[in-house]
Structure 1
Amino acid sequence: IAGFQIPQSFEHLDGISVAEWVNQGFPQGLYDLYFLPFAKSSLNSPDILSAGELLQFFHFYFFGNPEGLAFSGTKDDMGTGLVQPIVTAIQQQENQIITEATVNQINYDQGKINSLNFQQGNSQNAVPFWVEKNQLLSNNEVEYYGAGDRVFIAATNSQEAMSLTCTHQGCTVSKQDDGTFLCPCHGALYNEKGEVLEGPAKRNLPHYKIEQKNNNSVQLIALNPVTLEKTTTMEADYYVIATDVPGVKQLWGLIKGNNNDQIYQKITQQINQLAVADPFAVARFWFDRDFAWEHSDFSSLSGYKLTDSITLYHHIQQQFIDWAKRTGGSVVELHAYCYKETEFPTQEALLTTFEQELLEIVPELVDANCLHRELVNQKNFSGYPPNSYQQRPETRTEIDNLFLAGDWVKMPFPCGLMERAVSSGLLAANEILNQEGLQRRTILTVTPEGLLKI
């Protein structure tokens, strides 16, 4: 822990999982207190997380913070406190941010990205996409694809699929015994065709055509795509793909041109082997009363079947502080950093368990009224399984004007998660500056080893 060297530490520890590493004699009490919560906070389950990655995370966060494993939080929501100031800063430099853009082709030739084509608008479009089959939910009559809040259903041997994402606030609806579909979050009800029967949803569930199909996945395209006004072609000197793992896989599949050269094939192999972790879930509840709380307003938890942490938003973020002052209520959020789909196959199961465990954690809420609840449930976070480090792509690719950024790239110094994503973006920017003959930015990281050198 006190010394982490790249690549030596990965050569020694990347071949085993955290669970296997602990079984070699690591003190169980220390593991339960620090390493298990920390491993799960990487959104990777210990049984599929590389021991090398865990020790890199721990080394980076423990040695990179003067308070150890204590962190500061924003006083406003992420959009207000972080995203919007970044947007404003970019626009003040007379740069452009294009929102609601769907890339439909990336043009590649002679070892270089020449341009990309995109359409703008959030309506259903004619760009196909792949979704993996959900083996846990599928049966002889219907097949399910996707996970979390992005699930599709199709009758066996049908050429059409339907989205199960509620058009109200994005929860996943579940099929009932009478053939209808019910939203577990706010009660919207759809008939067997996905047409709204009862609110609060206003729009029907969208349908998709099955373009291609194999044993493990299906390619879908909007059944009735909205034809947008135009396709825009953008040409640039450099391109940086900075997305999550499903995003980079989707974009890479849209590259057209000389796709048979060795450079393209090598990067394709690296991107295809990128893993996605177990799904995570976040449930936020609004209650009509407050309660006494003697712990930190953000606290990690251990020993619960689903819940890994609790946050009291009416104590830390201004909009919820103001709401609590007006109403006397409380806003509580529970996190499940990574859970097994075999144990919680539906969002209804997630919400039920979250509510049960919240009442165990805060018994004072047993008689409170829940005024509102929201659920975020996704399966798109980067996976760090054993033996994956060596095959990860780096920020600089062998395509001269293409760079990669994200928490899934191979980095030359210890870092992880959001900090790895940011640092990889800075490395990409430095590569572009270097190619333009400009000075590169200094990037700071933690000392690789030595307690007295921190």
Structure 2
Amino acid sequence: MNGRATATRHGRDRRAHVVHGPQGAPRVRGTAPRVAVIGGGIAGLAAATALAERGVHVTVYEREHQLGGRLRGWPEELADGSTITMSRGFHAFFRQYYNLRGLLRRTDPALRTLRGLPDYPLRHSGGLQDGFARVPRTPPWSALGFAALSPTFGGRDLTRMNARAALPLLDVRVPDIYRRLDHLSAWEFLERIRFPRAAHHLAFEVFSRSFFADPRHLSAAELALMFHIYFLGSSEGLLFDVPREPFPAALWEPLARYLTGHGADLRTGRAVEHVEPARGGGFHVVTGDGRQRCDAVVLALDVNGLRHVVGQSPRFVDDAAWRARIMGLGTAPPFLVSRLWLDRRVAPDRPGFLGTSGYGALDNVSVLERWEGEAARWSARTGGSVVELHAYAVDPAADRAAEQRGLLAQLHRLYPETRDARIVDARHAWHADCPLFPVGGHRNRPTVRTPDPAVTVAGDIVRSGLPVALMERAATTGFLAANALLERWGLRGQTLWTVPVRGRTAALRALNRLVGD
């Protein structure tokens, strides 16, 4: 999926949906427009890529000193003198992420920087465990196979389920799913279905917490959309890839070289203070060291950054209702990433990634040397392990030191061999900047287009009308933001792919419409 081969899906699902970009000239002819992309995460880099490939003058402003946004990495020195790359933690690159993977193919056409993990295991403290390695990938056999193989489903559980309440899961369409379910929480929706409690905790709670939110506060529409993307709507399956090296080396440094090769100006360590209309048209983007004029702006910021720029730019996008919606956006509760360098290795049968439920605040555990080169080299040199622990949706009032100790205690409970391990070093990263998808919040989220046609918005908070979420929503809306500007200038846009935009079975779609209406 590059500027010349935009119709290549690079996936196994023959029902994947193509979204054609605007038609036009392949590159700028004459004076090139100038675009300021504010934010150097996935969304901003996708927008910058599509624009720069077509000859648009692009300047990317990123407040951090590294690109990648919530997937950035930065160097730190451990107590043993080792230089390592710290980050905000594990991220799964699912095979359904067609547009994110298309972005990465710009510098790695075969995606050799990614490697697949053999399973996506989930473990409950009560002893139940699920996985997806043996589950068929094509719906509806995926759902039937999961139910047949999972210890959380029994015959009595299946007969108790409310099939009528579950029908929206069988034909997820955007935005219709928000009309039907956005008024419910994910927890309430599963209660209505009478989903088996063990499966409720082990599978769906793990998925809902991928949004860094408690399922009691997450929109049921987002949960249903995830079910469609990863399970009943797509035949790509639930297995995923991870980078072979830390994010900067594997992903962002090569993409930065690609962008500068296309004339993009990447300004890291530059926070945008505000944006103001320029006399005669266009805008001035103001940073601490000056201002630059541009013809258009892509706002590719996290929620806090978006609210800051809009709030500090009173004459930018002169529409009171739009500005009020932006200022009303919220963030999910804090989350914690604890990375530990241990003086001995964990047991050899421990998976590279494990989702957990019932282990206090612990949501998952990664053993980084199983798949990341930098961690593997440290492990080979020292005989130790690099273990990463995640806790999502932590109470904002919680004692942070106590939470960190609690994660370590749960690791000892889960992997007993770590109890006697000495911690060579540890890093604890706390963040509270992920978007919140609350009950009833869909109508207030921004769209790619704004009241000003020269301003677009991109990111995982943005609603697009396509079945995408998380990192893939960031990449997709980044490309869509670029397409909206390219269309204004008569330039060819980026072709995109998504999972199917509706349920896969005609009879179930018809039944869902009958019941839903």
**Fold shared per TM-score above 0.5:** yes
Alignment of 1:281-430 (within 5 A): 281-342=336-397, 345-430=398-483
1:41 offset after TM fit, Å?
Answer: 1.3
With over 3 angstroms needed to count, the CA separation of the structure-2 counterparts of 1:340 and 1:106, relative to structure 1, is same
Q: In the alignment, is residue 12 of structure 1 matched against residue 65 of structure 2? A: no
CA contact (8 A) 1:275 1:382 kept: yes
Deviation string 1:269-312 (CA, Å, 9 cap, x unpaired) is 11012121111111000011112142431111111111111100
CA contact (8 A) 1:109 1:257 kept: no
Alpha-carbon distance in 2 for matches of 1:65, 1:369: 44
Q: Larger relative contact order (C-alpha < 8 A, sep ≥ 6)?
A: 2
Deviation string 1:290-348 (CA, Å, 9 cap, x unpaired) is 12142431111111111111100111111111111111111100111222234xx2320
Alpha-carbon distance in 1 for matches of 2:341, 2:316: 54
CA contact (8 A) 1:111 1:400 kept: no
CA contact (8 A) 1:112 1:399 kept: no
Deviation string 1:180-215 (CA, Å, 9 cap, x unpaired) is xxxxxxxxxxxxxxxxxxxxxxxxxxxxxxxxxxxx
Q: Alignment partner for residue 450 of structure 1, among 477, 491, 503?
A: 503
With over 3 angstroms needed to count, the CA separation of the structure-2 counterparts of 1:296 and 1:111, relative to structure 1, is farther
Which residue number in structure 1 is paired with residue 230 of structure 2? 61
Alpha-carbon distance in 1 for matches of 2:352, 2:236: 17
More helix by share: 2
Which residue number in structure 1 is paired with residue 220 of structure 2? 51
Alpha-carbon distance in 1 for matches of 2:496, 2:411: 41
Alignment of 1:65-104 (within 5 A): 66-104=235-273
Which residue number in structure 1 is paired with residue 298 of structure 2? 240
Partner letter of residue 433 of structure 1? L
Which residue number in structure 2 is paired with residue 271 of structure 1? 326
Alpha-carbon distance in 1 for matches of 2:226, 2:209: 11
Alpha-carbon distance in 2 for matches of 1:377, 1:111: 44
Partner letter of residue 311 of structure 1? S
1:2 offset after TM fit, Å?
Answer: 3.0
Which residue number in structure 2 is paired with residue 164 of structure 1? none
With over 3 angstroms needed to count, the CA separation of the structure-2 counterparts of 1:61 and 1:258, relative to structure 1, is closer
Alignment of 1:431-442 (within 5 A): 431-442=484-495
Deviation string 1:152-185 (CA, Å, 9 cap, x unpaired) is xxxxxxxxxxxxxxxxxxxxxxxxxxxxxxxxxx
1:422 offset after TM fit, Å?
Answer: 0.7
1:66 offset after TM fit, Å?
Answer: 4.3
Q: Alignment partner for residue 254 of structure 1, among 306, 309, 312?
A: 312
Alpha-carbon distance in 1 for matches of 2:466, 2:488: 22
TM-score (normalizing by structure 2) = 0.62
Deviation string 1:222-266 (CA, Å, 9 cap, x unpaired) is xxxxxxxxx32111111001011001001111214378xxx4212
CA RMSD of aligned residues (A): 2.0
Partner letter of residue 381 of structure 1? C
CA contact (8 A) 1:276 1:380 kept: yes
TM-score (normalizing by structure 1) = 0.71
Partner letter of residue 264 of structure 2? N
1:109 offset after TM fit, Å?
Answer: 6.9
1:371 offset after TM fit, Å?
Answer: 0.4
Q: In the alignment, is residue 24 of structure 1 matched against residue 192 of structure 2? A: yes
Which residue number in structure 2 is paired with residue 159 of structure 1? none
Partner letter of residue 263 of structure 2? E
CA contact (8 A) 1:63 1:446 kept: no
Of the structure 1 ranges 441-450 and 357-366, higher mean CA displacement relative to structure 2 is found in: 441-450
Name the SS for the 1:48 alignment partner.
Answer: coil
Alpha-carbon distance in 1 for matches of 2:279, 2:464: 27
Deviation string 1:1-36 (CA, Å, 9 cap, x unpaired) is 232112221111000111222222431233223211
Alpha-carbon distance in 2 for matches of 1:309, 1:250: 32
With over 3 angstroms needed to count, the CA separation of the structure-2 counterparts of 1:66 and 1:7, relative to structure 1, is closer
Partner letter of residue 104 of structure 1? E
Which residue number in structure 2 is paired with residue 161 of structure 1? none
1:451 offset after TM fit, Å?
Answer: 3.4
Alpha-carbon distance in 2 for matches of 1:450, 1:107: 45
Name the SS for the 2:357 alignment partner.
Answer: coil
Alpha-carbon distance in 2 for matches of 1:110, 1:386: 42
With over 3 angstroms needed to count, the CA separation of the structure-2 counterparts of 1:258 and 1:62, relative to structure 1, is closer
Alpha-carbon distance in 1 for matches of 2:316, 2:356: 51
Alpha-carbon distance in 2 for matches of 1:6, 1:291: 44
% identical aligned pairs: 29
1:379 offset after TM fit, Å?
Answer: 0.7
CA contact (8 A) 1:113 1:399 kept: no
Alpha-carbon distance in 2 for matches of 1:89, 1:8: 38
More strand by share: 1
Deviation string 1:343-400 (CA, Å, 9 cap, x unpaired) is xx23201211011111111111111111000011111100000111112111011112
Name the SS for the 2:387 alignment partner.
Answer: strand
Which residue number in structure 2 is paired with residue 143 of structure 1? none
Alignment of 1:116-135 (within 5 A): 116-119=285-288
With over 3 angstroms needed to count, the CA separation of the structure-2 counterparts of 1:356 and 1:113, relative to structure 1, is farther
**What stretches of structure 1 of length at least 5 have no aligned partner?**
120-230
1:113 offset after TM fit, Å?
Answer: 5.0
CA contact (8 A) 1:314 1:321 kept: yes
Partner letter of residue 284 of structure 1? R
1:448 offset after TM fit, Å?
Answer: 2.2
1:61 offset after TM fit, Å?
Answer: 2.7
CA contact (8 A) 1:393 1:410 kept: yes
CA contact (8 A) 2:304 2:433 kept: yes
